[in-house]
A and B are shown apart, each in its own frame.
Chain A
Amino acid sequence: MKERLSKFNTGLLADRKITQLMAITALTFGYFSIVSKDIFFTSANFTSMSYQIPEIAILSIAVMLSMLTGGIDLSIVSISNAAALVAAWIMTGHISKSGYESNLWIVIACIAGIMVGLLAGAVNSLLVAKLNVTPILATLATMTLFNGIAIGMTDGVSVSGLPDQFMRVGNGTFFGIPTPFVLMVVIAFAIGVLINRTTLGLKVFLVGTNRKAAQYSVMGDRKVIAWVYLVSGFLSSLAGLIIASRTSAASPDFGSSYILLAIVVVVLGGINPNGGFGTVTGVILATAVLQMVSSGFNALRFSQFFYLVSQGGVLIFVMILNVVLERRRTSRSISKSLRS
């Protein structure tokens, strides 16, 4: 019996946290489907959820990467807004051009947005990896700085009226599946490969588990951390472009609550805030859970602010649960070793 169980436990179910999350996802889904059958359990709701999940998921993956190394990137939302603003600014400046030329400018604008993300990521890398600033502080400062530059450049006004071709990316479908969702799956897969199948990914986990040991094994821990913040900036700019193309606008203070949400997602997804452990699957599942809670609350006509409470509540609850379970596991293993 035990042998068969252990065989069953390989594969996806091997990870206890993922199993827990799958159960939570199924429970949340079941609960809201029963409670609000006519609003939540409709294809319209599922479609709207699949348009909203990708941006949070991508931002959360960015936070996950920095958290895997034991740091944190608080500047993601500022970076994504700055990238979206630069792209939107270029696009609206060339909107009157003919079809082909305007398409070209859209591509240029997207590239410019991604460059902004990479540049911002490079600033974070420089601060955290080269100058040894604590990640919380470094990204807190760059968050203020990037956000401040975005406000200063636009005087705090949002840029709207983006070209239709660009909006088709965020609102269209790809073989029947919403395009942002497809993009998210591609990005999640790529990051999954990056952290599980490459040497850089392995090093990310090693640095997160024990920075000192990584230092002594001369694997270039600073370079690993620098890469992480660069990729995080890149992902944030992609999220910013997707948000801009979905909402047809870019503003310096869009989604200021996303940073709390992204951290809630990452912690719920089973990533250890001290680094060294986490999976992309967990992040995606956690995003789905939170989006279902948000849509479910909407369907049940709960106040918007109550969702804020539940975000905070989920964060604290999951952290407490992790601590309690960990303590129990340690005491059990100690008593087991004492008995034998």
Chain B
Amino acid sequence: MDFMKLLRRNETALIIAIILLSIVIGLKSPEFFTLANLFDIFRSSFVQLLFALGVLIVIISGGIDVSFPAVGIFSGYTAVVLMRQFHWNPNNLMLPIALAIVIGIALGAVNAVAIASFGIPTLIATLGTSGIFRGLMLTFIGSSFISDIPVALDKFATADLLKIQPAHGTLARLHVLIIPIVIITVLVSLLLSRTMFGRSVYALGGGIEATRRLGISIKRTQAKIYMLVGGLSGLAGILYVSLQRKANPYDLTGSELDIIAAVVLGGASIMGGNGTVFGTVLGVLLISLIKGNLILLGVSGSWQRAAVGALLLIGITVQALNESKKAKNRRVATNDEAGE
């Protein structure tokens, strides 16, 4: 592959940004370069990454989803409430997770109906459903904080794959979730690049009319996308509840921006048709790095949000500039052809 082309890729720019930022933070405070901190960054990225994979699929298809935090917390909270209400075996870990995924898919189906059957613009549809989901949960399911979640979920929060105790310093713990998360990430990547469904998602983002002429059912693809995203968000929601060891129905509000920022920084174009899982992983890592370690740089924690905003702004501006340069090149090329 051409070296310059590789350099211009979004992923390369992200890797450079992550390395530079790490060096700057590391120079300022040596505790940054410890295994414990690395594992902490991983741990805080798990839930974000699951949400981000869902958002990535939606953005590739040319839409935007702002309802995923509502879907996530709805699924996670409702699963915990159901477990407690019906006194299901609290030692069963898989049951609440399966419940949350099913609830997530059901909520995703609501989005799918609004978007695929009625053709409502995705931002407006998901803004509406996110109000509905959040309101329904707080009105009918519960608005109180649950601190004694089922035992299995609570224990899962501290299930470590490996513990490394360095000669001096804090104990580094790698959470067991790293394995399923890596598997899911690889699966989503394969789904997008190797299956008919994945290719239709890219096609849909490239152009609706063209996709229709290819003989791909727009409605069916969109319905699948939003249900899949619902399922991923449900899983993310229950894992969030488990890792936090509490179910708070007011949580996750406003987290949509960080995740959309991560996906867009990862190179997914909001116009659709572009984006890779690898880029998204890097975007999530970059955002986690900034949110978790800004304090080490001596920046007050209250500037975190501004930092994410500025980063997102830089990301989209660069993307837009590249886009218009490409469009110009294309125009020049067609003009040359016409001139000959």
Contacts and interface: CB of A to CB of B under 8 A. Distances in A.
Nearest to B128: A315
A133 B270 CA distance: 9
Interface of A is mostly: helix
Most buried by A among B131, B260, B261, B302: B131
Contact of A267 (B124, B304, B319): B124
A309 B74 CA distance: 13
B119 A132 contact: no
A312 B312 contact: no
Nearest to A273: B121
B303 A148 contact: yes
B124 A132 contact: no
Contacts of A138: 316
A63 to B, nearest CB: 11
B254 A256 contact: yes
Interface in B279-300: 300
A251 to B, nearest CB: 13
A142 B261 CA distance: 12
B126 to A, nearest CB: 10
Contact of B131 (A147, A273, A311): A311
Contact of A152 (B261, B303, B323): B303
A134 B271 contact: yes
Nearest to A306: B139
B164 interface: no
B107 to A, nearest CB: 12
A208 B261 CA distance: 27
B124 A142 contact: no
Interface string A231-273: 0000000000000000000000000100010011001000001
Given A134-B270, A155-B302, A309-B132, A315 B309 contact: no
Given A140-B260, A316-B120, A319-B125, A152 B305 contact: yes
Interface in B154-170: none
Interface residues of B, number: 49
A306 B313 CA distance: 35
A193 interface: no
Interface in A14-31: none
Nearest to B324: A132
Interface string B319-339: 111011000000000000000
A312 B135 contact: yes
B11 to A, nearest CB: 20
A152 B300 contact: yes
A82 B158 CA distance: 41
Contacts of B130: 260, 312
B257 A313 contact: no
A131 B306 contact: no
A131 B323 CA distance: 10
A320 B313 contact: no
A147 B123 contact: no
Contact of B320 (A133, A307, A315): A133
30 contacts: A127-B313, A131-B317, A134-B316, A136-B270, A140-B257, A140-B260, A141-B309, A141-B312, A143-B309, A144-B306, A144-B309, A145-B309, A148-B305, A148-B309, A151-B302, A151-B305, A152-B302, A273-B124, A303-B138, A306-B139, A308-B132, A308-B134, A308-B138, A309-B131, A311-B128, A312-B127, A312-B131, A316-B114, A319-B118, A319-B124
Given A309-B139, A311-B135, A316-B128, 4 more contacts: A131-B321, A147-B305, A309-B132, A311-B131
Interface of B: 64, 114, 118-121, 123-125, 127-136, 138-139, 143, 253-254, 257, 260-261, 264, 270-271, 300, 302-310, 312-313, 316-317, 319-321, 323-324
